[in-house]
Amino acid sequence: MLAYFIKVFVSFIVIMNPVSVIPVFLQITAQEVAEVQRKMAIKATITAAAILLVFAVVGDWLLTQLEISASALLIAGGTLLFIFAIRRVLGADNERVTPSAEGERAETQAKRDSFVFPLAIPMIAGPGALTVVTFQMKQVTGDFTSQVILILALLLVLSVNGILLIFANTVGRALGPTGTNVITRVFGIILAAIAAQLILNGISTFLKTVSFFA
């Protein structure tokens, strides 16, 4: 069970990459006082947790209703993660994110809701995290212990993410732009390998199904 916990924990920490959220968070909250930054960090983390937990609970049911096979999920999820990983490695996810607004009132509302977008979605609960939590829950269907371990690993990573955002100013100064970029790209390479393995597993599962019915 410890091995499974480490496996899913590492998967979530690599895919969600809490460090990569810090530059965006600091940019969005640059004009805010420390107390407002702390509240936005907590709200963003809780919102992302709610979204991921909903996908963990109903994701497999939704796939069943849509008649999506395990092999299709593996290949689609792996492809999505691979694209996501390439963007991480090439730095496409480090572009500045500025909420669009029309006029002072719209800009104020955009800042008020920025803990939802882009922080909670897609920075924390992004397509990669949503895909993995759905896939992992499908893999342990009927195994209550593994499901609990999976949820605990997810919540632990989200807690790490929340703590880093609360102390974003300190962490940002300690790492600097270079440190943040290095971590993001290393995690991107690991994520690409995970994505490739998912695709290979999906193809293997599909071929076994075809051979069984042939």
The Cβ-side half-sphere exposure at 17, using a 13 Å CA radius, reads 29
Kindly tell me if the per-residue pLDDT of 97 is higher than 50.
no
pLDDT at residue number 153: 95
- Domains in the chain: boundaries: 2-213
pLDDT class for 113, splitting at 50, 70, 90?
Answer: low
- Tell me the percentage of the chain whose pLDDT exceeds 70: 85
pLDDT at residue number 112: 58
Give me the mean pLDDT over the 57-75 stretch.
80
The better pLDDT of the pair 50, 196 is held by 50
**Which range has highest mean pLDDT (71-75, 102-106, 156-160, 208-212)?**
156-160
pLDDT class for 111, splitting at 50, 70, 90?
Answer: low
Average pLDDT of the chain is: 80
Note the pLDDT tens digit of each residue in 26-54: 877 878 888 989 999 999 999 999 999 99
pTM, two decimal places: 0.70
Note the pLDDT tens digit of each residue in 139-171: 888 899 999 999 999 999 999 999 999 998 888
